[in-house]
């Protein structure tokens, strides 16, 4: 059994280069089973389609760059559907894997799974929705044709027959190619003649709209989408010829990427849909996707330490990872384009121009200590004639931004300053393979947080905030261990099992009497805090060990397990977890003791309760536990004090207004395609946000912003890009020093996080009301809060 961590990539266009060890970790005797169970969720808003995002189902690796690459190859894709289209068919191993997947789902999932006509209907609906949820490619006649598969997919899956899924996908792929070819031709022939004085509108969310009756209706839908994109660019002051050039390049790039779709993509898309039909957190991963997925929990990778993106037909270096082999070697730069790859000292250089990003990634991956040679066009070169070869020895790279970090903020309250420690934890990570191999210094979020707590105590902090905003979860055992850092002993979470132990409830807890930190504690969460984050926040709240602040959490109360298969792996829901109070977090999440403004309040589709097939909320018996502080008794006074501050706090007033403005915008169902109407709407939206922000700045005594028209903003942005592009990577010591000083000035000018600052003030109030007031460090005098960064993860990276 292997284990993984599910995590949303913050940069969806970027793929790290790394390699997974193919050795299966074995579980040593006595190894805690809960460490192998995963509590995580992909945090993403299910939103209405963006009219400027085309072919979104398959084009997530496309970077719509605005750079002009003189002397470089441009996508040369024929505008001929028949030349581009190729029928895709499954290979035998895909069918065998489908049968194995059904067996795993039927025998090991938490809920009983029956593969019948009803299940087939669900798979069919989910598959169509995943391919064309906005009804932009299929027509009504297509759906009538495909409806023959509604009640037969279950039987086909049982027999290992994936041909029906490929028939559906092939038709979708043809329609997608047809649509992009039509769009490119329309852009290049008609956009220059568009009339923006007409009174017409674009429907923003087509999910509930009927399918287009015929090609003419579909053409009109896309005409409006193109018109919307063109109008948006025009309002920035872009000339018509540049608008045509930009949109033509955008859709040609997408056509180029879509034409590279292969049978493996169809296989992953379909079996992934089958798994998610059982519940939204059950997934299938092909071998390649398994390798990528398994990397995310460890927080480390073996490779060159670069992040790549696709631009035109090139693979472009988006970023170098600090401390990685590429950065240490020194020749590879962000913005460089990789055009060839060779293995070892003598391997033949392979041309990779036009290859899919994942295929390029596969070639750059390799074991630690091996050599890869890259043929690279430097960022400042204008043609392939300037290419050079760079040799890099692969190594292990730690992703420092994924690990726990701490800082000290100084919070002003009633004229006094108080030192408050903040620990930011992006996920509940754990290196299962290293731990199973018996390595002592394996990565663990609980270990890292403990080290950060020790550092904060050395800095004499009077309180601690654990910041779990945007933390989508991770290891169950790590959540248990993390709670244990703040309590003496006791249960932390309850797990209810299925299968042979169906209905059996087991309590997990902390048996170590050592307490890493016993002072005032707050947990800061939002709607994107999920699963393991909810276990921690719920336990701290149930014990009344600390106060939970922020927004309602995601509401994921299920535990997943990764089970290796002969071809890939399945992540399936095996159990549900419950708070020690007996309540489930499923659907409802953890409700904060004091609520802060949360922009996710404006996203009505955010959260477990909005996911198809999510398991229901329920309860189990509570387990006995102690209360550390009478927080419920002082909560009304805490809320009164907070509300009094928040009502006059410029940042809180601004945040509340921002949520309301987002809700207003998201409530719109159409977008004007009339120039004056759209401009008036956009100006009104921008003016409302601009005025609100200037009111905030004025109340804080900060410099006000100056209003600029959209065209002015676009011109400034273009000028900044040109200036950045012209800068050289070389700098003498004086330039480096100047840059460091400039960076320090920028950091000093940064505003404090208002939610963290208010969390600190609430902790000051809490300590006072509990009769244990904090010690102030100095009089307030309206000083700016000083921040001291402490990053243990960077220290560890250097040590390695």
Q: What is the CATH number of the domain that holds 304?
A: 2.30.42.10
Q: Could you tell me the pLDDT band of residue 188, with boundaries at 50, 70 and 90?
A: very high
Running DSSP on this structure, what letter comes out for residue 752? P
pLDDT digits 0-9 by tens, 546-565: 999 999 999 999 999 999 99
Tell me, yes or no, whether 435 and 305 share the same domain.
no
Once rounded to an integer, what is the mean pLDDT over residues 274-302? 82
Give the whole-angstrom CA distance, residue 735 versus residue 741.
Answer: 10
Percent pLDDT > 90 in the chain is 63
Task: Judge whether residue 743 has pLDDT over 90.
Answer: no
- One domain for residues 171 and 204: yes
Is 401 a residue whose pLDDT tops 80?
A: no
Indicate if the pLDDT at residue 273 is higher than 90.
Answer: yes
Look at residue 799 in the predicted model and tell me its pLDDT.
26
**Is 478 or 749 the better-scoring residue by pLDDT?**
478
Q: Which of 235, 201, 224 is nearest to 671 (CA)?
A: 201
DSSP codes of every residue in 38-51? EEE-------PPPT
Copy the structure tokens of residue 296. Answer: 């995310």
Establish whether 556 is a catalytic residue.
Answer: yes
pLDDT (0 to 100) of residue 787? 39
Q: Which of 227, 556, 571, 576 is catalytic?
A: 556
**Count of CB atoms situated within 10 Å of the CB of 679:** 17
The answer to whether residues 187 and 321 belong to one domain is: no
d(CA 562, CA 673): 48
pLDDT the model gives residue 766: 97
pLDDT for residue 402 is more than 90: no
**Average pLDDT for 498-515:** 83
In a shared domain, residues 463 and 611: yes
Cβ(487)–Cβ(516) below 8 Å? no
Q: What is the domain range of residue 336?
A: 300-398
pLDDT of 502: 66
Longest dimension (CA), the chain: 78
3-class SS string, 627-661: CCCCHHHHHHHHHHHHHHHHHHCHHHHHHHHHHHH
What local confidence, expressed as pLDDT, does residue 60 receive?
31
d(CA 176, CA 58): 10
Give catalytic status of residue 542 as yes or no: yes
Say which residue the tokens 């261990």 belong to.
Answer: 481
Q: How far is CA 544 from CA 493, 695, 755, in A?
A: 15, 38, 21
DSSP letter assigned to residue 235 = T
| pLDDT at residue 578 tops 60 | yes
Q: Which of 349-363, 601-615, 745-759 has the lowest mean pLDDT?
A: 745-759
pLDDT digits (tens, 9 = 90+) for 692-707: 999 999 999 999 999 9
Residue 296's pLDDT is what? 67
Q: Which residue has the tokens 């000093």?
A: 748
- Judged against a pLDDT cut of 60, whether residue 34 lies above it is answered with no
Rounded percentage of the chain residues whose pLDDT exceeds 70:
82
374 and 522 assigned to the same domain:
no
According to DSSP H, which parts of 405-520 are helical? 432-436, 445-458, 476-484
Shared-domain flag, residues 466 and 535: yes
In the beta sheet, which residues pair with residue 571? 283, 562
Give the model's pLDDT for residue 221: 97
State the catalytic residue, choosing from 161, 395, 448, 542: 542
Give the pair of three-digit tokens for residue 66: 């605005």
d(CA 355, CA 353): 6
What are the helix (H) ranges across 700-732? 710-726
Residue of 146 and 9 predicted with greater confidence? 146
How confident is the model at residue 75, as a pLDDT? 59
Determine, yes or no, domain membership for 595. yes
For residue 489, the model assigns a pLDDT of 94
Establish if 492 belongs to a structural domain.
Answer: yes
Query: Which position has the higher pLDDT, 15 or 790?
Result: 790
**d(C-alpha 525, C-alpha 596), whole Å:** 9
- Same domain flag for 378 and 501: no
CB 738 within 8 A of CB 395: no
Phi, psi of 397 (to 5 degrees): -125, 130
Could you tell me which of 238, 193, 197, 227 has the C-alpha nearest to residue 674? 197
Catalytic member of 34, 229, 283, 531: 531
790: nearest Cα among 300, 428, 400: 400
Q: Has residue 524 been placed in a domain?
A: yes
d(CA 99, CA 566): 11
**Residue 108 scores a pLDDT above 50:** yes
**Is 800 in contact with 442 (CB distance < 8 Å)?**
no
Domain boundary among 367, 398, 429: 398
The answer to whether residues 116 and 224 belong to one domain is yes
Q: How many domains does the chain have?
A: 3
Q: Return d(Cα 282, Cα 505) in angstroms, integer.
A: 21
Residue 676 lies in a domain: no
**C-alpha–C-alpha distance, residues 316 and 17, integer Å:** 12
Could you tell me if 443 and 425 are in contact, meaning their C-beta atoms sit under 8 angstroms apart?
A: no
pLDDT at res. 14? 26
Element (DSSP H or E) covering residue 496: strand 490-497
Q: Is 139 exposed, middle or buried (0-12, 13-18, 19+ CB in 10 A)?
A: middle
Is a pLDDT exceeding 80 seen at residue 36? no
Same domain, 404 and 393: no
380 is catalytic: no
pLDDT tens figures, 292-310? 777 766 666 778 988 888 8
**Cβ–Cβ < 8 Å for 393, 435:** no
Higher pLDDT, 782 or 548: 548
**φ, ψ at 464 (rounded to 5°):** -135, 135
Two tokens at 643? 């509300």
What mean pLDDT is predicted for residues 304-331?
86
Asked whether the predicted pLDDT for residue 12 surpasses 60, the reply is no
Residue 736 pLDDT > 70, yes or no? no
Categorize the per-residue pLDDT at 470 as very low, low, confident or very high, splitting at 50, 70 and 90.
very high
Whether the pLDDT of residue 55 is over 90: the answer is no
Angle between the 163-190 and 263-278 helix axes, to the nearest 10 degrees? Answer: 110
Cα–Cα distance for residue pair 16/589, rounded to 1 Å:
32
Last residue of a domain, one of 398, 424, 442: 398
From 651, 552, 543, 554, select the one nearest 593 (Cα to Cα). 552
CA distances from 337 to 70, 307, 683 (A): 13, 12, 38
Average pLDDT along the chain: 83
- Position 492 pLDDT exceeds 50: yes
Residues 160 and 91 in one domain: yes
Work out the angle at residue 655's Cα, subtended by the Cα atoms of residues 649 and 656, and round it to the nearest 5 degrees: 90
CA atoms within 13 A on the CB side of 14: 16
Domain end point (choices 224, 246, 278)? 278
What pLDDT score was predicted for residue 33? 28
Are 530 and 642 part of one and the same domain?
yes
Q: Does position 40 have pLDDT exceeding 60, yes or no?
A: no
Report H helices in 544-589: none
Parallel/antiparallel/unpaired status of strands 463-467 and 416-424: parallel
- Whether 437 has a pLDDT exceeding 80, the answer reads yes
- 475/619 same-domain check: yes
CA separation, residue 449 to residues 373, 409, 479, 549 (Å):
39, 17, 11, 19
Q: Which residue has the higher pLDDT, 781 or 608?
A: 608
Instruction: State the Cα–Cα distance between residues 755 and 769, nearest whole angstrom.
Output: 21
Rounded CA separation 530/528 (Å): 6
Q: Tell me, yes or no, whether 291 lies in a domain.
A: no
């Amino acid at each position: 059994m292997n284990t993984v961590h599910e995590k949303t990539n913050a940069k969806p266009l970027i793929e790290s280069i790394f390699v997974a060890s193919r050795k299966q970790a074995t579980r040593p005797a006595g190894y805690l089973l809960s460490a192998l169970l995963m509590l995580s969720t992909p945090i993403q808003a299910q939103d209405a389609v963006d009219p400027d995002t085309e072919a979104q189902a398959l084009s997530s690796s496309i970077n719509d760059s605005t750079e002009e690459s003189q002397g470089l190859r441009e996508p040369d894709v024929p505008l001929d559907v028949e030349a581009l289209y190729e029928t895709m068919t499954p290979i035998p191993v895909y069918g065998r894997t489908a049968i194995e997947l059904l067996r795993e789902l039927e025998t090991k999932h938490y809920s009983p799974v029956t593969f019948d006509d009803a299940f087939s209907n669900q798979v069919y609906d989910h598959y169509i929705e995943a391919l064309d949820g906005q009804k932009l490619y299929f027509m009504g006649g297509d759906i009538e044709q495909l409806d023959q598969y509604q009640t037969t997919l279950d039987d086909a899956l049982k027999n290992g027959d994936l041909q029906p899924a490929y028939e559906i996908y092939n038709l979708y792929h043809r329609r997608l190619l047809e649509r992009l070819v039509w769009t490119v031709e329309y852009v290049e022939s008609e956009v220059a003649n568009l009339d923006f004085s007409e009174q017409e509108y674009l429907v923003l969310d087509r999910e509930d709209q009927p399918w287009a009756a015929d090609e003419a209706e579909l053409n009109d839908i896309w005409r409006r989408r193109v018109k919307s994109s063109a109008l948006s660019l025009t309002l920035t002051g872009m000339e018509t010829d540049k608008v045509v050039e930009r949109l033509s390049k955008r859709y040609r790039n997408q056509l180029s990427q879509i034409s590279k779709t292969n049978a493996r993509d169809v296989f992953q898309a379909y079996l992934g849909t089958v798994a998610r039909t059982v519940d939204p957190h059950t997934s299938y991963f092909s071998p390649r996707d398994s390798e990528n997925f398994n990397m995310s929990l460890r927080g480390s990778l073996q490779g060159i330490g670069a992040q790549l993106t696709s631009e035109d037909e090139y693979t472009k270096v988006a970023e170098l990872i600090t401390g990685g082999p590429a950065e240490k070697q020194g020749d590879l730069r962000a913005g460089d384009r990789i055009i060839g790859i060779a293995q070892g000292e003598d391997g033949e250089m392979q041309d990779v121009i036009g290859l899919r990003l994942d295929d390029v990634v596969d070639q750059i991956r390799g074991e630690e200590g091996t050599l890869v040679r890259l043929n690279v066009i430097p960022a400042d070169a204008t043609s392939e004639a300037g290419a050079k070869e760079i040799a890099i020895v692969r190594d292990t790279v730690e992703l420092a931004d994924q690990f726990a970090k701490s800082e000290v903020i100084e919070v002003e309250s009633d004229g006094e300053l108080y030192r408050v420690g903040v620990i930011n934890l992006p996920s509940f990570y754990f290196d299962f393979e290293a731990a199973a191999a018996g390595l002592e210094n394996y990565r663990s979020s609980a270990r890292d947080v403990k080290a950060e707590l020790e550092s904060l105590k050395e800095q004499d902090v009077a309180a601690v905030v654990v910041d779990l905003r945007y933390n989508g979860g991770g290891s169950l055992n790590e959540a248990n261990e993390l709670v244990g850092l703040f309590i003496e002993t006791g249960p932390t979470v309850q797990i209810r099992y299925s299968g042979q132990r169906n209905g059996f409830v087991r309590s997990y807890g902390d048996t170590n009497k050592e307490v890493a930190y016993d002072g005032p504690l707050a947990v800061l969460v939002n709607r994107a805090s999920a699963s393991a984050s909810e276990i921690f926040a719920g336990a701290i709240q149930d014990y009344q060990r600390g106060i939970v602040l922020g927004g309602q959490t995601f509401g994921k109360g299920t535990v997943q397990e990764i089970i290796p298969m002969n071809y890939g792996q399945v992540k399936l829901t095996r159990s549900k977890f419950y708070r020690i109070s007996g309540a489930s977090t499923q659907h409802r999440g953890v409700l904060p003791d004091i609520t802060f403004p949360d922009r996710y309040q404006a996203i009505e589709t955010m959260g477990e309760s909005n996911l198809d097939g999510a398991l229901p909320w329920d309860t189990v018996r509570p387990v006995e536990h102690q209360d550390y502080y009478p927080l419920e008794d002082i909560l009304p006074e805490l809320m009164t004090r907070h509300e009094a501050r928040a009502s006059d706090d410029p940042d809180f007033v601004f945040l509340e207004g921002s949520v309301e403005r987002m809700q207003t915008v998201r409530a719109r169902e159409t977008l004007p395609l009339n120039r004056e109407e759209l401009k008036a709407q956009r100006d009104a939206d921008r003016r409302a946000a601009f005025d609100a922000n200037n009111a905030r700045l004025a109340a804080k005594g900060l410099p006000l912003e100056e209003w600029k028209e959209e065209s002015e903003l676009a011109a400034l942005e273009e000028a900044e890009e040109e200036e950045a592009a012209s800068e050289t990577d070389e700098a003498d010591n004086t330039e480096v020093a100047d840059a460091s000083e400039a960076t320090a000035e920028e950091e000093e000018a940064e505003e404090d996080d208002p939610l963290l600052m208010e969390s600190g003030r609430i902790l000051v109030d809490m300590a006072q009301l509990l009769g244990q007031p904090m010690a102030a460090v100095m009089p307030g005098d309206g000083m700016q809060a000083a921040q001291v960064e402490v990053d243990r993860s960077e220290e560890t990276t250097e040590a390695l």
